[in-house]
Chains A and B, each alone.
Chain A
Amino acid sequence: MAYKVEKASEIAENIFEYWINAPHVSKNAQAGQFVVIRIDEKGERIPLTISAAKGDLVRIVFMGVGKTTKYLSTLKSGDYVLDIAGPLGHPSEIKKWGNCVLIGGGVGIACLPILAKALKSAGNHVTGIIGSRNEKLLLLEDELKEDCDELVICTDDGSKGFHGFPADILKKKLEETNIDCVWIIGPAIMMKITSMATIPSKTKTFVSLNPIMVDGTGMCGSCRVTIGGETKFACVDGPEFDAHLVDWDELMSRQRIYPAQEKESLENFQEHQCRCGEHHHE
């Protein structure tokens, strides 16, 4: 049994949006949850946050970085992935918080639509702040404009929207209005730095952690993170945690257990791709 990629598209530079036919996931997916995907028989299992779900389809968005994501990005509409398991992890804490700010950094922006929709339905006022290095890496702006009451766009280089980081906007918002809850989703370093902004006001702040996982169901402990001095498994105890309790340095260190292997695997893949390319021209 394999799962069909119904629609594959590149929605920003090297960032891909796939709608995969997986009713067992899509029909039960909630904001904050993730899937584990394995492309083929030799593939590794990688976790990807659920970005949206509609009917039998579940949407994932990813950047081509390592071997697996680069390989995944070569799939076209109509191709298949061998396995998709989920939805996994606890759903986001959806309730009437009041004033919510959702921050997405880089490919983490893709996690916001499903969350914004759920929070809006629960009666919250939702402000979205999305940031990326430059205009070419921005994604899902139109969709998020619909899902959020207000959307602020930032780029590090000023090529679009506010010239600066989402944290700058967040600080300003915290001064201007009363904010009840904040979600920050993006690379670990971005989540660490951005969540510092809410420490003085002790504003409730969730982050979605992305350590290395294998099974994604609590069986291996690869994804262990330290939260308030206690070891937790991100896959089953999270993936969302209180940002102010996260041991960020440990998380970032544990994300880099296999740099040599990741490099080797990617080089192998790229070399193979070149060889196939040459063969194709003959």
Chain B
Amino acid sequence: MSKRDVKERIQDFLEVDEGISENNAVLEATRCMECVRPNCVKGCPVNIDIPGFISAVAEKNFRKAADIIKSDNMLPAICGRVCPQENQCEGKCVLGVKEKPVRIGALERFVADWERKNGIQKPDIAKPTGKRVAVVGSGPAGITAAAELARSGHSVTIFESLHAPGGVLTYGIPSFRLPKEIVKAEIDEVLSLGVELKLNHIVGRSIPVDDLLSYDAVFLGTGAGLPSFMGIEGENLNGVYSANEFLTRVNLMHADSFPDYDTPVLRGGKVAVVGGGNVAMDSARVARRMGAEVFLIYRRREEDLPAREAEIANAVEEGINFYCCANPTRIIGGPAVTGIECVKMNMKSPDESGRPQPVPIEGEEAKFIIEADVVIEAIGQSPNPLLISLIDALKKGERGNVIVDENGMTSIPHVFAGGDIATGAATVIEAMGTAKKATAAINEILK
């Protein structure tokens, strides 16, 4: 894997990681032990036959490798780039015990990129079943569900509320981590299976709930789009953004190219980002690329940062300043932000997530102020309430999620849900995993 030079890459939004060469891919593939009971497969939320595709790479049969991956995962170029492999496949690789695990993510990406360059092969599609299925949302869950359902021969319509498909892949993850032409190519591939995509359609508003429920089956993949705010003083000052807003303005609306594009964003001289996940890293690195000095505030220790390892390393390289064990107490200014007051945190015994519980240190000396003209809150999102609040018969959980059984079935028998709307905010690949389960169950009820 070669990464672009820091000085160069913080000037643009082109991809940081340039991937591995064919030679290195083959070499890396030969490291695989081809375990009889491969742990890596268990670590993969969509259970890709990892040793199978890697052995095809080792044989330089990249077409075969692509076919193997795509029988389980229609979006490999995306997953190869954004999966937290260290917690999934690579985290389970036996080679990781003594040396470095096989770089499964890099290999997946290599295969997907190879296929895109050398011609994508259309998968087999079953005979038309005559059944109509509605998919709500075109993020990772919706796209996966649509692909699986179309391959099973159903007539699939995706409804997307925004003007572009992809959900978080489009509005959330920046192009330096996931180039938009790759998202487009993988979505186009799904659409080429005969899936109909209706943009600008807000289900529950543009499509009445009764119309939605009249489909033979429904898959809800509306995601966790509702941004959380900390609930501290000064949050509505001008210059305070949710990460969703900041990233949407740049990734979806191209505010980085203002005024060529019409949507503005405050670039900020000094930007404070609150949070420690992938979304926080993305926000920090976007702000950096627009010329700001960036401070990232995280309430636990550096080793507890939940973001993907590679992105933390990239953020550090790109000059993001980390304030760990600190938590904002108020945002200062009026009407525009001038700073953010924080308190230092002490780590107490682990909570139920296994991470240490951060507790504010008492006394004025534990407080400090970071000067900032933009504050971005990346402290999580909860399930999108718009549609599910309009479907009365749908059982909802305390966290605003849709309650589903192990097959993704909701309290309405022909309505299924997957991705963040069912699980709460999780990763792209987990969303795809739950979508795949749900589509298998949909196929069962449509038999």
Q: Within the complex, which residue of A220, A224, A258 is in contact with B264, where a contact is CB–CB below 8 Å?
A: A258
**Residue A44 at the B interface, CB < 8 A?**
yes
Min CB gap B333→A, angstroms? 11
- One digit per residue, 1 when the CB lies within 8 angstroms of any chain A CB and 0 when it does not, for chain B 256-287 equals 00111111101000000000000000000000
Contacting A at CB under 8 A, from B209-255, are 225-227, 229, 235-236, 238-239, 241-242, 244-245, 248-249, 253-254
Q: Which residue of B has the minimal Cβ distance to A236?
A: B386
B206 pairs with A215, CB closer than 8 A: no
**Residue A151 at the B interface, CB < 8 A?**
no
Q: Which residue of A has the minimal Cβ distance to B244?
A: A220
**Residue A193 at the B interface, CB < 8 A?**
no
B226 pairs with A218, CB closer than 8 A: yes
Q: From DSSP, what is the main secondary structure of chain A's interface residues?
A: mixed
**Residue B316 at the A interface, CB < 8 A?**
no
Q: Which residues of A contact B229 (CB under 8 A)?
A: 221, 224, 231
Q: Which residues of B contact A261 (CB under 8 A)?
A: 258-259, 264
Q: Which residues of B contact A224 (CB under 8 A)?
A: 229, 236
B260 pairs with A217, CB closer than 8 A: no
Q: Within the complex, which residue of B199, B227, B254 is in contact with A42, where a contact is CB–CB below 8 Å?
A: B254
Min CB gap A2→B, angstroms? 10
Q: Which residues of A contact B227 (CB under 8 A)?
A: 219-221
Contacting B at CB under 8 A, from A16-48, are 24-25, 28, 33, 38, 42-45
Q: Within the complex, which residue of A42, A87, A257 is in contact with B266, where a contact is CB–CB below 8 Å?
A: A257
State the CA gap A243–B54 with chains docked (Å): 63
State the CA gap A44–B260 with chains docked (Å): 11
Min CB gap A235→B, angstroms? 9
Q: Which residues of B contact A15 (CB under 8 A)?
A: none
Q: Which residues of B contact A222 (CB under 8 A)?
A: 241, 245
Min CB gap A65→B, angstroms? 14
State the CA gap A139–B378 with chains docked (Å): 44
Contacts A42-B262, A231-B236, A236-B386 known; A217 to B335 CB distance under 8 Å? Answer: no
**Residue B31 at the A interface, CB < 8 A?**
no
**Residue B194 at the A interface, CB < 8 A?**
no
Q: Which residue of B has the minimal Cβ distance to A24?
A: B206
A38 pairs with B266, CB closer than 8 A: no
State the CA gap A268–B262 with chains docked (Å): 10
**Residue A262 at the B interface, CB < 8 A?**
yes
State the CA gap A231–B230 with chains docked (Å): 11
**Residue A96 at the B interface, CB < 8 A?**
no
A83 pairs with B199, CB closer than 8 A: yes
Min CB gap B204→A, angstroms? 10
State the CA gap A87–B263 with chains docked (Å): 22
Q: Which residues of B contact A68 (CB under 8 A)?
A: 262
State the CA gap A265–B384 with chains docked (Å): 32
Q: Within the complex, which residue of B161, B201, B207, B245 is in contact with A221, where a contact is CB–CB below 8 Å?
A: B245
A84 pairs with B200, CB closer than 8 A: yes
Chain A's interface size range is 35 or more
Q: Which residues of A contact B242 (CB under 8 A)?
A: 220-221
B239 pairs with A257, CB closer than 8 A: yes
B202 pairs with A85, CB closer than 8 A: yes
A236 pairs with B262, CB closer than 8 A: no
Contacts A219-B226, A219-B384 known; A24 to B163 CB distance under 8 Å? Answer: no
Min CB gap B143→A, angstroms? 18
Min CB gap B391→A, angstroms? 15
A220 pairs with B245, CB closer than 8 A: yes
Min CB gap B142→A, angstroms? 15
State the CA gap A277–B162 with chains docked (Å): 34
B264 pairs with A25, CB closer than 8 A: no
Min CB gap B166→A, angstroms? 13
Q: Which residues of B contact A218 (CB under 8 A)?
A: 225-226, 384-386
A236 pairs with B244, CB closer than 8 A: no
Contacting A at CB under 8 A, from B29-68, are none
State the CA gap A210–B202 with chains docked (Å): 20
Q: Which residues of A contact B253 (CB under 8 A)?
A: 44-45, 214
B259 pairs with A268, CB closer than 8 A: yes
**Residue A226 at the B interface, CB < 8 A?**
yes
B262 pairs with A85, CB closer than 8 A: no
**Residue B123 at the A interface, CB < 8 A?**
no
Contacts A214-B263, A219-B226 known; A25 to B206 CB distance under 8 Å? Answer: yes
Contacts A218-B386, A253-B238, A265-B262 known; A85 to B245 CB distance under 8 Å? Answer: no
**Residue B96 at the A interface, CB < 8 A?**
no
State the CA gap A218–B225 with chains docked (Å): 7
Q: Which residue of B has the minimal Cβ distance to A267?
A: B259
State the CA gap A28–B385 with chains docked (Å): 19
Q: Which residues of B contact A44 (CB under 8 A)?
A: 253, 261-264
A231 pairs with B202, CB closer than 8 A: no
**Residue A122 at the B interface, CB < 8 A?**
no
A254 pairs with B236, CB closer than 8 A: yes
**Residue A207 at the B interface, CB < 8 A?**
no
Q: Within the complex, which residue of B206, B238, B241, B248 is in contact with A28, where a contact is CB–CB below 8 Å?
A: B206
State the CA gap A114–B176 with chains docked (Å): 46
**Residue B208 at the A interface, CB < 8 A?**
yes
Contacting A at CB under 8 A, from B378-400, are 384-386
Min CB gap B171→A, angstroms? 8
State the CA gap A25–B205 with chains docked (Å): 8
Q: Which residues of B contact A265 (CB under 8 A)?
A: 258-259, 262, 264
A236 pairs with B259, CB closer than 8 A: no
B258 pairs with A28, CB closer than 8 A: no
Q: Within the complex, which residue of B161, B198, B236, B248 is in contact with A220, where a contact is CB–CB below 8 Å?
A: B248
**Residue A5 at the B interface, CB < 8 A?**
no
Q: Which residue of B has the minimal Cβ distance to A22?
A: B200
State the CA gap A58–B127 with chains docked (Å): 40
Q: Which residue of B has the minimal Cβ distance to A39?
A: B262
Chain A contact residues, CB within 8 Å of chain B: 1, 24-25, 28, 33, 38, 42-45, 67-68, 82-88, 214-215, 217-222, 224, 226, 231, 236, 250, 253-254, 256-258, 261-262, 264-265, 268
Beyond contacts A42-B254, A85-B162, A257-B239: 18 other A-B pairs, Cβ-Cβ < 8 A, are A28-B206, A42-B261, A43-B261, A45-B163, A83-B199, A87-B202, A88-B205, A214-B253, A217-B161, A220-B244, A221-B227, A221-B241, A222-B245, A253-B238, A254-B238, A257-B238, A265-B259, A265-B262
Listed by A's residue number, 16 A-B pairs whose Cβ atoms lie within 8 Å are A33-B205, A38-B163, A68-B262, A85-B163, A88-B202, A214-B253, A217-B202, A217-B384, A218-B384, A219-B226, A222-B241, A224-B229, A236-B386, A253-B335, A254-B238, A256-B238
